[in-house]
Amino acid sequence: MLDFAIYSITIIAVWSVLALSLNIQFGMTGLVNFGQILPFALGSYAAGISASLGYPWWIGALAGLIAAPLIALLVIMPAQRLAQDYWALITLGAAEIFRLTVLNAPALTGGADGLVVPRFIDPTLAMSVALAVLAVTFLLAQRISSSPYGRMLRVLREDEILASTLGRSPIRYQASVSVIAWMMAAAAGVTYAHITGYVAPSSFTVTETFIIWTAVILGGPGRNIGVIFGAAIIQLLGVSSRFVAQWIDLPPDLIANLRLASFGLVLVLMFLYRPQGLIPEAKQVHDAERN
Amino acid sequence: MKMTGLPLAFCSVLAVLGLQGPARAADPIQIGVIANLTGQDVKTSVQMSRGVELAADDINAAGGIDGRPIKLIVEDSEYRAQEALNAATKLYNVDKVEAAIMFGGSSLMIPVAELARDKGKILINTSSSSPKLGNYPGTLFSILPLDDILSKELGNLIADSGAKTAAVVVPNNAFGLGVAEAAAAAFEAKGGKIVENIAYTEGQPDYRADVQALVKAKPDAIITAGYGDDSRTVLRNVRELGINATWFAAYPSILEVDNKEWMNGRLLGVDNGGYSQGVGKAVQDKYAAKFGDKDILAHVYYGYDAMMVLAEAMKKGGTDAAAIAKAMPEVVKTFDGASGKIVWDDRGQRIDPPIDVLTYKDGKFETTATRN
Mean of the per-residue pLDDT values for chain B?
88
Q: Report if residue B284 sits inside a domain.
A: yes
Residue B23 domain flag: no
Whether A9 maps to a domain, the answer reads: yes
B271 SS3 class:
strand
Q: Is residue B346 part of a domain?
A: no
Which CATH number covers residue B294? Answer: 3.40.50.2300
pLDDT at B1: 41
Q: How many structural domains comprise chain B?
A: 2
Same domain, B258 and B173: yes
Q: Provide the 3-class DSSP secondary structure of residue B117.
A: helix
Confirm whether B107 is domain-assigned.
yes
Q: Specify whether B218 is located in the same domain as B361.
A: yes
Domain holding A52, by residue range, is 2-205
Q: B325: which residues sit within 8 A by CB, 6+ positions away?
A: B122, B138, B139
Do the Cβ atoms of A1 and B74 come within 8 Å?
A: no
* Domain range enclosing B320: 28-144+276-341
Q: Is residue A64 part of a domain?
A: yes
B72 part of a folded domain:
yes
Residue B8, min C-alpha distance to chain A (Å): 7
Q: Is B351 helix (H, G, I), strand (E, B) or coil?
A: strand
B228 & B333 share domain:
no
List the 9-48 stretch of B: residues with Cβ below 8 A of A. 10-11, 14-15, 17-19, 33, 35, 37-38, 42, 46
Question: CA Rg, chain B, in Å?
Answer: 21
Does B18 reside within a domain?
A: no
Q: Is B106 close to A113, i.e. CB distance below 8 A?
A: yes
- Mutation to test the B interface, candidates A52, A202, A206, A210, most B Cβ within 10 Å: A202
Closest partner residue to A6 (CB to CB) among B7, B80, B130 is: B7
SS3 B212: coil
Cβ distance A198 to B81 less than 8 Å, yes or no, reads: yes
Q: How many domains does chain A have?
A: 1
| Residue from B279, B308, B312 nearest B56 by CA | B308
Instruction: Give the CA count within 13 Å in the CB-facing half-sphere of B231.
Output: 23
With a CB-CB cutoff of 8 Å, which residues 31-90 of chain A face chain B?
A: none
Residue A31 is assigned to a structural domain of this protein: yes
Pick from A1, A112, A124: which is nearest to B14 by CB? A1
Which helix (H) or strand (E) element contains residue B274? none
The answer to whether residues B204 and B251 belong to one domain is yes
In whole angstroms, give the CA distance from residue A152 to residue A191. Answer: 31
Q: Which chain B residue is nearest to residue A114, measuring alpha carbons?
A: B107
CA B41, B47, B50, B56: dihedral to nearest 10 degrees? -110
Closest in A198, A242, A259 to B90, CB measured: A242
Residues B175, B266, single domain; the answer is yes
CA angle at B102 for the pair B22 and B324, rounded to the nearest 5°: 50
Give B169's contacts (C-beta < 8 A, 6+ positions apart): B198, B200, B210, B211, B214, B222, B223, B224, B234, B238
Interface of B with A in 275-304 (CB under 8 A): none
Domain of residue A152, CATH code: 1.10.3470.10
CB B342 within 8 A of CB B335: yes
Put simply, the chain A residues between 159 and 198 with a CB less than 8 A from any chain B CB are: 196-198
| Segments in chain A forming alpha helices (H) | 2-22, 37-52, 57-76, 85-103, 106-109, 123-146, 148-158, 160-165, 170-196, 206-219, 224-247, 252-273
Q: Is residue B16 part of a domain?
A: no
When pLDDT is cut at 50, 70 and 90, the band that residue B290 belongs to is very high
A147/A17 Cα distance (integer angstroms):
20
CA-closest candidate to residue A134, choices A240, A231, A3: A231
Task: List for chain B the helix, strand, coil content (%; round to 5).
Answer: 45, 20, 30
* pLDDT tens, residue by residue, B99-142: 999 999 888 999 999 999 999 999 999 988 777 888 899 999 99
Q: What whole-number distance in Å separates Cα of residue B73 and Cα of residue B95?
A: 8
Provide, as residue numbers in chain B, all residues whose Cβ is less than 8 Å from the Cβ of A113: 106-107, 110, 130, 132, 174
CA B337/CA B140 separation, integer angstroms: 19
> Which residues sit opposite B270 in a β-bridge?
B250, B357
Residue B21: inside a domain, yes or no?
no
Residues B103 and B58 in one domain: yes
CB contact under 8 A, A242 and B73: no
Instruction: For chain A, say whether B76 makes contact (Cβ under 8 Å).
Output: yes
Whether B93 and B208 share a structural domain: no
- The helix (H) or strand (E) run that includes residue B30 is strand B29-35
Instruction: Give A 219-258 residues with CB within 8 A of chain B.
Output: 238-240, 242-244, 246, 252-253, 255-257
B82 and B113 co-located in one domain:
yes
Distance CA A39, CA B313 (A): 45
Task: Please tell me the predicted confidence (pLDDT) of residue B2.
Answer: 46
Q: Walk along chain A (291 residues) and give the pLDDT tens digit of each residue.
A: 788 899 999 999 999 999 999 999 999 999 999 999 999 999 999 999 999 999 999 999 999 999 999 999 999 888 777 777 788 999 999 999 999 999 888 889 988 888 999 999 899 999 999 999 999 999 999 999 999 999 999 998 888 888 888 888 888 999 999 999 999 999 999 999 999 999 999 899 888 898 899 899 999 999 999 999 999 998 888 888 888 777 777 777 787 788 778 777 877 887 788 888 888 887 766 665 655
Give the ipTM. 0.86
Residues B223 and B365 in one domain: yes
B293 and B214 in a single domain? The answer is no
What is the rounded distance in angstroms from the CA atom of residue B196 to the CA atom of residue B100?
40
In this structure, the answer to whether residues B364 and B226 fall within a common structural domain is yes
Establish if A210 belongs to a structural domain.
no
Report if residue A262 sits inside a domain: no
Instruction: Identify whether residues B136 and B153 lie together within a single domain.
Output: no
